[in-house]
Structure 1
């Protein structure tokens, strides 16, 4: 490689400026597009990008653009002959076509005509609602809602959303002209009791005066259940995270991890999705 090409490669390397901290730690259950579910989450900025001076003026905007990385496209593979753990691409081959869920998971289209995670850059782009900035221990935390990112997502860039140029009223949206239809979601008495009991138990074991630290703020978003979480869980399941080819399967259990619980749900005869079980997980 020439010195010229090497310098270009260095120039185009994008730094990770922060990490997304959220109730969803797995891809299954995450909204397929932003702003479908008003789920609150946090962007933890990293040094030196966590200085408050870098965010002066951002509070004047209601929404922001987030550039981020599909980090679950990568898997940990352990070399059993050594103790080193290496991160490799799950599949490094270029995929020119994908099967969008909106088309039933059967029809293929070009990857550049989709928002598929399996793209050459492994980069995502989302517009989310900007709630507020919190300065904790001298560091910046961005409180947002409506993200379609999971916990641990690397953040590459943040820019303000400008309505007059970013919102184009007459734009065509191809195979996704409108938001997907949400399904009705019910919950069994047993599952609701399980959920409410876990909320009570967490409150009982919670320290009476936890210090206001970055770790405490993130832990609250990622693991601590509150009563209104049941509405968030229902809204996520209403988006129907099941694979498109399995959506006709009645009484087939699927499990979505939310904060510190695994939520089981299934399609029932009435055509509704029903939450049947809520079980605590060890994090």
Structure 2
């Protein structure tokens, strides 16, 4: 897939696109995200910004996976793993628009990565298991983004109160 990206000062691309050399991980998409965002420029850059828009979203689960939703309605928040299919995969050093300096891909939350997997902690508003629809508070991905997995969010084990990112 050809991704339109204007290279910024300080960015470094890999010699090859990882999608062209990747082993077959045999991933399956279990559904799609339905969001109000159809263009990258309008899409919120993170979940905090997505929540601030007040725009809800839905997750549509394929019929063969809907039984796996049993019990999920007990969760107030869930973790969605998405495949950011419109992201560039060959940037190893990136310079986000808001940053003064470039950083390594693995030091950023950018969608541009060798395996463009998105991680989203979202509030689950309502679940219709029969129809395979999860209503969520907000999301920071484009409409029709493929869904890889869903996990319940456990504040007791997932939240790390002392976690920090040191200033540069």
Note if 1:44 corresponds to 2:60: yes
Note if 1:157 corresponds to 2:153: no
Match of 1:66 in 2: 80
TM-score (norm 1): 0.47
Mark the runs of 5 or more structure 2 residues left unpaired by the alignment.
1-22
Q: Distance in 2 between matches of 1:13 and 1:66?
A: 19
TM-score (norm 2): 0.77
Aligned pair count reads 143
User: Relative contact order: is structure 1 or structure 2 higher (C-alpha 8 Å, sep ≥ 6)?
Assistant: 2
Tell me the CA shift for residue 122 of structure 1.
1.3
> After the TM superposition, which parts of structure 1 deviate over 3 Å for at least 4 consecutive aligned residues?
none
Tell me the CA shift for residue 70 of structure 1.
1.3
Note if 1:142 corresponds to 2:134: yes
Give deviations 1:146-184, integer Å, cap 9, x for gaps.
2111101000000000001211111103459xxxxxxxx
2:35–2:139: 8 Å Cα contact kept in structure 1?
A: no
**Map 1:41-190 → 2, pairs under 5 A:** 41-49=57-65, 51=66, 53-73=67-87, 94-103=90-99, 106-135=100-129, 138-174=130-166
1:126–1:147: 8 Å Cα contact kept in structure 2?
A: yes
Pair 1:28–1:169, CA change in 2 (3 A)? same
Q: Distance in 2 between matches of 1:163 and 1:117?
A: 25
2:33–2:146: 8 Å Cα contact kept in structure 1?
A: yes
Q: Distance in 2 between matches of 1:47 and 1:134?
A: 12
Match of 2:17 in 1: none
Mark the runs of 5 or more structure 1 residues left unpaired by the alignment.
1-8, 74-90, 177-283
Q: Distance in 2 between matches of 1:32 and 1:48?
A: 32
Q: Distance in 1 between matches of 2:48 and 2:103?
A: 24
**What RMSD in Å do the two structures reach over aligned CA positions?**
2.0
